[in-house]
Each structure stands twice: as C-alpha cells, then as structure tokens.
Amino acid sequence: MTRDEIRELAAFKVDDKKGACALSFYFQPDPPQDRSHRREAIVAKDVIKQALKSAAAPGKNGSLHADLDRILDVATNLRGHVRGKAVFACSAQNFWKEYELPPHVGATQIYLQSRFQLKPLAALLGAQPALCVAVVDRQRARIFDLRLDDLRERGAIVHMLSRSASSYGYNGYEAGHAERRVAEEALQQFKAVSERLRTDLEKGIWERLIIGCHDSNWPEFEPHLHPYVKQRLIGRFSADVASVTDEEIRDHSADILNRWRIERAATKASEAVSFAKAHGRGVTGLRRVLQALEAGEVQSLFLGENYSARAVECSHCGHLDAHLISSCVACGHRTHELGDICDAIIPIAIRRDIELVYLKDNDDLDRAGNIAALLRFRSDQNRTGQVAAAS
C-alpha cells in the first residue's frame, strides 16, 4: 500500500445527491495460537450480515446492498487468513479497493459513512518506518525490506567456507586449527553483514532494524554492529537462516514493531504534553490542536484510542471549530456539525503527512484531554524563545 493510495482514500467523498455510501471493512485475523478456531472469519461474516440487515431497511439503496454482498464473498474466503485486510467500496461511484495489512488491524468492523473510515488504517500506518530485517548466522545472511505487510528480500551475503577450513579432518591437531579457522571466517561474515547494514542505512534504504539470529550467535554478532546502526535496532528474534519462513519473519517483525511503536508513542505523547505545559513545541486539547492544524504547525498528532468529540466544519472554507457555532469565524458561511471530529482530522493528517499516533491508557494524554500534538514550530513565538529551548 503506497502513500498515494492512502491519500486517494483520504480524498474520497461520496456524492450526497446520489445517496451513496462509503463502505469500509476491516478484518482482524485470529492471533497465531488461535488460528485453528477460525473465529475471526465467522465474526467477519456476522458483522457483514448485520450490516446487510440494516441496509435492507427502507430508504437505503441497492448499490450499498451490492457492495455488502461482494464483501460477504470476500469474508467467506477469509477462513484461516493470517493477514489483516481492508476493503473500501462505493459501487455508486465505481470504487473498490482491497488491501492486505499486518495482523494488527484492531477489530473486525464495517463502517457505512460519507467518507471512508481510515482510523484503523491511520493507527496502523502512524509510525510505520522503513524496516530492514536481517536474518544472520555465521555463514549466511538474508536481508529483507518490510513495508507494511510486504516482505521483500533485498540481498544475501553468503560466506563460503574456504576449502581448507571445511575439509579439515577429525584428528585432534588439525581439528583445533579448523575450529579457529571457522571462528575467524564467522568473524569476517559478521563484519561483512554489519558493513552492508551501515552502507544501506547511509543510503537511506532503511530507518529501523530488526535482527533474526540464533541466540548463541547474537553475542558474536552484536559487537560488530556500528553504533548508529545499533541505535536503529528495535528488536531481535530467534531464527535459523536456512529454515525461517517469510511468514515467521513477518509475524516476529510485526510483534517487535508493535511493541516498539507503543513505547515510542508513550514517550512522544508525554513530550508533547510537557512541551505544551512549558508553552513550547506542543499543544493539548481539541481547540488548540485544531488551531495548530490550521496553522500548519503540527508534526505528530496524539489521540486517545477512543477519542471522539463533536465539532463543526465550515461547508465553504473547511474551517474546523471545537465550539458548536452556526456560522464560520473565518468566512461567515454556515457550518455543519460533525458527530466525530476524527472523521475530519484523519484525512487532513494523511494528506499532509502528519504522523498520527493512537494511544491506549496513557495517563499524561488522558489528563490533557486525550488529544495533543507535537509541533514543527510555533507561529505565535519567535525562534529564539521557548521554542528553541524546547527543540
């Protein structure tokens, strides 16, 4: 899934005159240990059948029914599916897109709205770094790129044991020599892999790193990692280069990435809250966050997992206001009420490349009204004051 595809979804709006509906469906697979139960595939079908029932109610149109039938077909084929999935559909406007996602979608749900529901997607994509996964042992290394759920092997480094080392016999004297030789060659291999990781990082090929290796190899390999490569390391899993499957690499990496994101989100949100207290590069509360969004100041946006608030949107200029006023303060035109401001904020964040971070049970954010932002700058202060101190 590319950024342009996400932007296309964020820009989509149904034509009200056609009475059409933007349908968003998310599928959360069972956790690996429960896969034999295939519970989620059953849940998915129930969710859609429920939506079909309400769509059958008077006043709803046929195109929605057709979309739901088609999604029901998709769900029927999700038995045993191990990846997350999203479908965005609006047959009235000839729109149908399916995406495979990492298995952390949240919940299996369907949304029928005037825009596509992008919250689960935004939560998933929020802090999605360009990830490098290197699976390493003493002779082999395989290097992968992982973008969302797309795992691609970028290269391999194979250290051929020199013939003299591999063909040493079993007699005592030569065996000891062979062992030293093998250790020396493993050292060369680990150095070669580290060097490759360093140059790829410098070329901007990846931003964060995950290593897969035998636990016994890690103490040998780790000291060879360059300090700034190591800074980018977000976790390690136990794996055998020869036998590890793509599926296992994806599963381990998704878990590591998820843990890292949760920790990083908490740190950054606390930063935003404390910067806001110091009148620095942070703001809290819906009113201030909306102002900062409009001023183009926002770098990262933090939302409580279940954050929702009513607000108004100007039908003419798009101004968003936390006060439920009937005419726009910016242009004077009429406003309309939004049941949930997030439906307007998320597409803005996606269009402007603002990092969107959802947090669960974060006390700092909770006390700050469950919405906060880290700012690139503050337009109401000059660069010499607290802004500089905060950055």
From the CB of 334, what's the least distance to Zn ion, in Å? 9
Closer CB to Zn ion, residue 121 or residue 312? 312
Quick count: other Cβ atoms within 10 Å of Cβ 293? 20
Give me the amino acid identity at 338: L
Chosen residue from 11, 156, 175, 331 binding Zn ion by CB under 5 A:
331
- Phi, psi of 357, rounded to the nearest 5 degrees: -125, 125
Distance (Å) of CA 14 to CA 18, 114, 175, 340, 346: 8, 5, 74, 17, 17
Chosen residue from 317, 324, 325, 388 binding Zn ion by CB under 5 A:
317
Piece of the chain touching Zn ion by CB under 5 A; list 152-160, 282-290, 311-319, 376-384: 311-319
Q: Cβ contacts of residue 250 below 8 Å, gap of 6+? A: 102, 146, 149, 151
Nearest in space to 339 (alpha carbons), one of 124, 123, 120, 114: 114
Element (H, E) at 153: strand 150-158
From the CB of 293, what's the least distance to Zn ion, in Å? 15
Residue pair 335/328 in contact by the 8 Å Cβ criterion = yes
Residue 337 bridge partners (DSSP): 312
| CB-neighbour burial class of residue 35 (10 A; exposed 0-12, middle 13-18, buried 19+) | middle
Closer CB to Zn ion, residue 11 or residue 317? 317
Nearest in space to 355 (alpha carbons), one of 296, 299, 304, 289: 299
Q: What is the spatial distance between Cα 385 and Cα 196, in angstroms, rounded to a whole number? A: 43
Chosen residue from 319, 344, 369, 386 binding Zn ion by CB under 5 A:
319
Please list the helix, strand and coil fractions of the chain in percent, rounded to the nearest 5, in that order. 45, 25, 35
Closer CB to Zn ion, residue 137 or residue 313? 313
Residue pair 48/71 in contact by the 8 Å Cβ criterion = yes
Chosen residue from 79, 316, 351, 352 binding Zn ion by CB under 5 A:
316
Chosen residue from 82, 309, 330, 344 binding Zn ion by CB under 5 A:
330
Binding to Zn ion, residues 151-170 (CB under 5 A): none
From the CB of 321, what's the least distance to Zn ion, in Å? 9
Piece of the chain touching Zn ion by CB under 5 A; list 28-36, 87-95, 108-116, 332-340: 332-340
From the CB of 287, what's the least distance to Zn ion, in Å? 17
Q: Does 314 bind Zn ion (CB under 5 A)?
A: yes
Closer CB to Zn ion, residue 209 or residue 314? 314
From the CB of 379, what's the least distance to Zn ion, in Å? 20
From the CB of 143, what's the least distance to Zn ion, in Å? 51
Piece of the chain touching Zn ion by CB under 5 A; list 13-21, 32-40, 97-105, 331-339: 331-339
Closer CB to Zn ion, residue 198 or residue 319? 319
Q: Does 328 bind Zn ion (CB under 5 A)?
A: yes
Closer CB to Zn ion, residue 327 or residue 382? 327
Residues forming contacts to Zn ion in the complex (CB under 5 A) are 314, 316-317, 319, 328, 330-331, 333
